[in-house]
Every structure is written in C-alpha cells, then in structure tokens.
Chain A
Amino acid sequence: MCRMAAIKSKKPVAPAMVLRMMLAMQEGHDNSGFAMVMQDLGGAFANFKEFPLLSMACTSEGLDRVEEYLEKLGFTVKFDYQPDVDDRPGLDFQKMPIYVFRNYRYPENYIGRSWEEKKKLLVNTRLVLRRLLAEGDQGYVYSFWPDVVTLKEVGDPRDIGTYFQLWNEGHWLQARVISAQCRQNTNYHIVRYAAHPFFLEGYTLMGNGEDTFYQKNRDFLNGLNPGYLGFESDTQCFLYTLHYIVEELGWPLPYYKHVLTPLPFEEMKQHPEAPVLEHIRQSCQHLEINGPNTVVFVLPDNRMGVIADSKKLRPLVLGRQDDLVAVASEVCGVNTALPERDYTTDVYPGERETVMINNNLEVEEWLQ
C-alpha cells in the first residue's frame, strides 16, 4: 500500500512536516520514493504566484531541448531557483543531474489573453516538453503551472529530504497546500511519472489503493483529452475523472463521488436526485472505480477534498488544530503533525461522503 499525507494550512509550512508524517507511517510503505505537490506557495516563490512555474528533473541535454522549445514559444525566465543541496555520500536516492524550479513569463502574444487560453497553452506546452524529454530518456516534467511546485523522486524519503534539505523548517519551499505520498508501486515499473500525486491543469490528486476498474477507466479516459495520458498508475484515472467531471463537463463537485462510487441501485432509487444519478451512472459507467481506495485531491482554488471507496476498504483520517488541517492514511501521521489537537474532532471519511476542506479550513462532510 501507499501512504499519503497532506497539509492544508492558513500559513505557509515547510515540507518537513509531511516528511515526518510519512516516516511515522513507515510501516505502510517501502521507502521506495517520495513525491510531493505544493500549491499556494510561500517561501522563495511567494512573489511570483501568477507566473507559470516549471518543475522538472532532467539531463543537460533535456534542459537544452526544453529551453529551446520554450524560447521558441516566447516564454522568458522570470525567476529561477537553484536549490541548495546536501549531496553527502551514501544517500539512497536516484538523483537526476538537473532540477529545475523556474517561473516563466507568458509569451508576449499571450499578454491580455483569457485564463482559458493560457491554461490551454500551459497544458499543451507541458505535453510537448514531456515528449521532448521522453526521447532518449532525458528527463521528466511534472508541472508547468502558476503557484505549483512538484517533486518526484525515487529512493528513501529520508535521504531525499536530506538532499533537498527538506528537513529544514525554514526551507525555501513553503506552501499552504502540500500533498505527499511515499510510494509502493506494486503494479508497475518504478518510473517517476507513476508516483502520486498527479497534477493536471490546477487539479492535484493522490490515492491509496487499487483501482480494479483501471483498465475500464483508462480505456474510457484515453482520448477524451490530450492531457489524459501516461496512465503509469491507476490513480491517474481518478485525477482525469475529476478533471473531466468538474472541468470538462462543468458538473458540481459532489457528483464526482457519484461517478467514482455510484450508489447501489436500491439506494439510488430512494435518492431525491434519482433520475440524474441514474443518467450519470449510465453515461459514466466506465469511470466508476471499484476496489479499495482513498483519494485526496486539491482543486484549482486550493480547496482540498477526500473521498473513500464505497466499501471503506482503505483508511484515511483528518485532524485539525488552529490554522492547519492534516490528512493522513493513518492517525499516527496526523498525530505527528498535530500532537496537541483534540483528536475527538478527527474526521474519518465515510464510504458515502466527500469531505471538503475549504480555504477557511472549515471541514465539510457531504453525504452522497
């Protein structure tokens, strides 16, 4: 199984907290990697929120290809952060030659254009960069989006933390929303793209479990949108489905749960929205997930949500204290982040709930 940890905070926090949460849950993962998406950034990138931020790990040749392509499109560098690293010997960690965390200015011809057009540009650009880097295995591009940093590494999370100095509480990377996962990739080869959390067009998602309808999901999603690609992990299906439902179809978020884990027919008939739900089940039958899963997602407006499978086969818990909500696969993870909290107010999402944390850190439980 994987283990997940997420933070939603009113103030920017350093990733050390999620690393500690992960180590607390170490019995549940295999130390084979660490991946993290940070949104609503503080720290070094706090002043560049509106500029698309490229998160990438590559070779020097890969960097050349990327720079050449971005230059051709008209992107110019706004801010380039070269992290200080602790490259002590003996780290169990598959280091990449170059790490890029760089804000870009939009091309001049995009100044004044709508956000919709810019979104399209950013997604398409990332997809091209991914293709460019894939040729000859020259690197990985994780996100190219304003106010988002992504890190995906293969190795021991402690050593990855040491190398990037993530243990430092005053780290250059700070964010109000952090999603992190330590991988145990049992189904597929260990490739960086397979590590959760996944990011697409402002949506971040990670999951813990096994999507037994992975093939059905993939067959259906593949081709719906050029951004729905890779499928290195079954959890990518959850992200693309979220994107499809909310972004493409424009359905309100509560219907995401109805798509992922539809109500049994007998219960559906009693539901006040029965006709709508029946149509959703009918048309989205290939997007249903079936199997043990908990899903943590972040929306473009930085609200965070949690969904469990319909049989509640995978655990997840939310705890809150003051200006911070911690989400973890196991309560020991939350205890690490918030040892002083009132644990009686912890929320264990039910099999028919969507739990949402809004930007005021109010936790809402939506019954399906």
Chain B
Amino acid sequence: MAPMNRPAPLKVDQAKPYEQAGQPLSVSTTFGVQAPAAGQTRAPLAKPVYVNSSHTTDFPWKIEWNAETCIRCGACVAACTFGSIEPRLMRQGQAVSVGNFPTPVANYHVVLAIKQVKDSKLACRGCTMCERVCPTGSIRPVTNEQHRFPLVARRGGTPIKRGGRAHHIPVRALDYIKVGRISQMTDPALDAARHTFDLLTPLGRNLPAGELPFKVENGKLAMQGKTPPMQWIYPVMIGDMSIGALSWRMWEALALAVAYLNEQCGLPVRMSSGEGGMPMRLLTSEYLKYFIVQIASGHFGWNRIIKAMPQMVTDPAGLLIKIGQGAKPGDGGLLPSQKVAPHIQAIRGVPQADLLSPPNHQGLYSIEESVQKMFLSMNAAFKFRVPVGIKVAASATSVAVYNNLIRDPYHIVGGFFMDGIQGGTGAAHEVSMDHTGHPILSKLRDCYLAAVEQGRQGQIPLFVGGGFGDSGDLAADAFKAICLGASGVFSAKIFLQLAGCVGNEKGRCNACNTGKCPVGICTQDPRLVSRLDVDAVAQNVVDYFLSMDSELKKLMAPIGNSSLPIGRSDALISMNKSIAERLQIAYAC
C-alpha cells in the first residue's frame, strides 16, 4: 500500500536494468506503450527480437517477484544454490504530484530488483528456497507450462542429466488397486491395536522344507548340517543410496534412524549402503548388522570395506550385488565430479572426477556364471554367514533371470531385488530416466507366479522398489506389493522427502546431480549440507516408520491376517480391468 500522504506510484513492469546505460532509457507502462524517457522528444526504435537466445519464457519455472513488497534483504539470492536469480538495478519511474491540483511530474530513480537469470544452464529448478526464506512472501517460482526447456537445454551438445524420478509415467497402477477382501462375518477382522502381528519377512535363501537338514531324534527334529544364512527383517527397507550421492549428514541421519528403529523400537529395519562404501566407524561397529552392504560394478568403497573386515565385530545384514537400477537400466552408477568432495575421494579411494560405474560387472556374461563367480565370492567373503542378494532393474527379461537364480544349485542367492521405472537416482541422463525401464508391479507378479508354477515361491525372496511411497503412503504401496508376491519393499526417495527434499515427478528441483542440492541432501558442499538437521531428519524417518508400522497393521487386520500376506493376491481388487487382468487379481467396479 502506498503511504496515504503520497500519490500512488506509477506501475512499471519492465524497467530496464541500469547496466544498459548508454541506450535510451525508457519505461513501459502497464499498457505496453513505449513512453518517452525524460528529456526525449520522440519514441526510440523498437528493440530487435532475438528468438534464439535463451529466455526465461523457455524455462519450466519462472520467478514471480513483487517489487512492491520486497524489502531487498537478499535472502532469496543467497538461498538460491543454482544462481537462477540475481540482484540487479532497475530504473523505476514515479509520477509525483505536489500541490492542490494534479500536476504530475515524472520522477525516476534506481532501485534494487530481483531478476531471473536467462542462462539456460542456470535455469530455475523451482526448488522454492527463495520463497521459503523470503520474509515478506515477495518471490516464488511458478510453473511455466508453455516452456521449451528440452529444446534449449541441450544447446552445447550435452544431453540433459538430472536426478529424481522418471517423469511422464502415465499410470500409477498401485492407485487402482485396493484391499478389497475384508473379513466380514466369514471370519473376524483382527484388532490392529491389540492382536499380535508378525511383520517380518525372511532375507536369505529359503530351502524347500524337504531339503532342510533335519533328522528325527527322539520324536523331535534336530538340525544336522548347515543351512543358507537367513534373517527375519522388517518388510520395508531403506533402499540403496550411497555416501556421495547423499551428503554425509543425510546418510548419517538415515543410519541413525535405522539404528534407533532397531535398538529402541524393535523394528528390524535394514538399510542398503548403496555403492560407495561406508564410514570406517560404522563398518567396525555393532551397528553394521543393520546394514546391507552393496557392491556394484564400480566396486567403489570396497577397498576400505575389505580393509575393515578384520576389525569388524559383527557381520552385515546382507550383501547386495547391484547389476542395475530402475531409474536408468543399462547404466552404471554415476557420481558427477562436483560431488566428489575430499571425504568422498577418501571413502572411495579415487581422485576428483566423474565416477562412472560400468554398465556391467566385469567378466559377467551369463546368469549362471554370475552365480558361480559373484555370488560364490561374495558368500565366501563372509564365510557363508551373510545372505547375498542381487539387484536388477525390472525388465522384460526379469523372469528369465529370476528363474535362473531360483534354480541355483548352491543355494547361495539370498534375495532378488527388482527396481522399477519409477525408482529414483542421484544422476542420470534424462532420456534414460524418462524412456527406459519397466514398471515394477507386472514384473513382480510375473516373477512370483513363475515361482509358484515351479512350487518355489519364497525360496528366493522377492524385494521390489521403484516408486513405492511416492504418494506418501508407503504402507499401502508396500502392502499391495506384498499381496502380489513381494517378500518386501525397498524405498529410498521417500526418506529424502521426509528429510526435506522438494523434488517431485513434475520437474521440481531434480538437481541431485549438480552438487547444489538446496536442502543439503544430495550435495557435498559444507555450506549446503549444514542446512540439514541430522537429528530432525532421523526423527522424521523414525516417526514415519512407526506410523507405517501401525498402518500396515491397519491393513492386515481387516483381511484377518496376523502374518505377512505374501502372495495373497485374493486380498486385492483392481478398479481397472486391464490392471486386474495383467496382475491376475479380481476386477471390481
């Protein structure tokens, strides 16, 4: 509001910045008519239109700034990690009238303005940090639906890379599935608050009952011989995100939450390390037992892990051989050099450079051989005490892989982790994220039913990931996957979102690859990482798991189950006929 004792200033919406001095200065009125600047007698020539240089109208996010309410504190510019806004000077005109009758006189002065940068490399990501820090609510990014960003962002001959999840997934099948078989008089629904629920699932190779090394002695079964390592874990685990992809504080917060959930809450939640090693202090602590250590094609971090083995006081929960991931199937891991800070170099034992894991493990050329070489060597690394699983991107070939593994005669494959197209990543080519991959549900179902057909369900537990929890309801997503045959679910991005990640599937932020994560989650810049409150993040994650635990019980109780309904697809209905048909569940309308 203008002060009462002064006339309202003339509105100006496109003042010229000060650095364009030398050119005739002009202001455009709200009506778009070129008004002559002071001292000029005729209108200047219209400015030529150059359509090939990038402009903010090409960008998916535009900055909306209110010059009238902005107090020019500069907080937004300081908060923007992408350099997408900058302070600039602006000539502002005011018509001032003094005296008893309207005698307006144009009055111009230079003011500070916040402007969006036109460089496509510095395009606004819509991360909202400016909006969050602005004390007067004067600035915010708004989506620009008519943008041309895919056309300008490739200038320079470089493919678009980003983090986050796939965009443009037309159907989220989980939303069409409901828990439709409710215990109503045929059997009683259970009491979610009072009954005992066994929310645990086995991780490790399950022998068929007939192959258990049992001997009957005095009317009792006695164990004779060894069985593959196995442990009962919580059916929702924290998926693989490396130190490197994540900031050390974010990783630490997750690790803290996992330790707390195990030690204080009685939930045996497991977390995968991702490819990138683990801190020595954790490797040599008791808490290692809550972590699944990942080995991927780059073997990053394994020098340190192997060196730590003599000092380990306990075994890890499992080992996970990563072949691929759903967000960028066919690609290996990618850690851009911007994120390879000195501590990352130390953990991974590498210089600062783009760290690209090969798309495949060296020497692997067949599934059978992978069982022989990779599984056997990883099993042997911990003397066959630790289950060894494998993680692949869901693919049209997944059933063939699963079938081969399930016939593994050595019983050394302890888990099949399958990651769907909606999985997240810290860095990938956008074309891979958006256009390669396979939705997870149908492939999960195919693998489970393939096992059923052979009478081998449960022998190699199926864990699935890729978009679970992206609606915020991880319990519901996980429960539906379990009913379709999953032994458990791994989820990652939701835990980043709990930590404050603002990224989404509509193009917001997705800057995990830049090292400029505005919330300190996916960056190694100490100034940005300090934005993250480790304890608060850990608490958010713990709280979420505790509510998810209650919610899983609220889903199990009405179908009358106190144990995990793995493969109980009769509990589900689909409100979409095609999905019902594909997943072999009942269609309901």
Contact = CB atoms under 8 A, between A and B. Distances in A.
A229 interface: no
Contact of A288 (B219, B221, B227, B563): B563
Nearest to B232: A265
B566 A283 contact: no
Contacts of B567: 215-216, 219, 286
Given A219-B457, A252-B216, A283-B206, A265 B198 contact: yes
A167 interface: no
Contacts of B562: 290, 310-311
A212 B570 CA distance: 9
A279 B457 CA distance: 15
Interface string A203-227: 0000001101111100110111000
B214 A251 contact: yes
B195 A209 contact: no
Nearest to B213: A279
B230 to A, nearest CB: 6
A275 B186 contact: no
Nearest to A310: B562
B455 interface: yes
A250 B217 CA distance: 12
Q: Is the contact region of chain B dominated by helix, strand, or loop, or is it mixed? A: loop
Interface in A250-280: 250-252, 254-255, 262, 264-265, 273, 275-276, 278-280
Contacts of B455: 220, 222-224
B220 A286 contact: no
B396 interface: no
B316 interface: no
A254 B219 CA distance: 9
A13 B568 CA distance: 43
Interface in B452-480: 452-453, 455, 457-458
Contacts of A250: 216
Interface residues of B, number: 42
Given A215-B568, A251-B221, A279 B187 contact: no
Contacts of A107: none
A178 to B, nearest CB: 27
A285 B566 contact: yes
B209 A290 contact: no
Contacts of A219: 452, 457, 567
A74 interface: no
Interface in B175-192: 183, 186-188, 190
B202 A210 contact: no
B488 to A, nearest CB: 13
A285 B563 CA distance: 9
Given A273-B221, A280-B209, A290-B562, A215 B569 contact: yes
Contacts of B431: none
A264 B216 contact: no
Contacts of A278: 232
Nearest to B207: A283
A111 interface: no
A264 B196 contact: yes
5 contacts: A212-B183, A212-B187, A290-B563, A291-B187, A311-B562
Interface of A: 186-187, 209-210, 212-216, 219-220, 222-224, 244, 248-252, 254-255, 262, 264-265, 273, 275-276, 278-280, 282-286, 288, 290-292, 310-311, 313
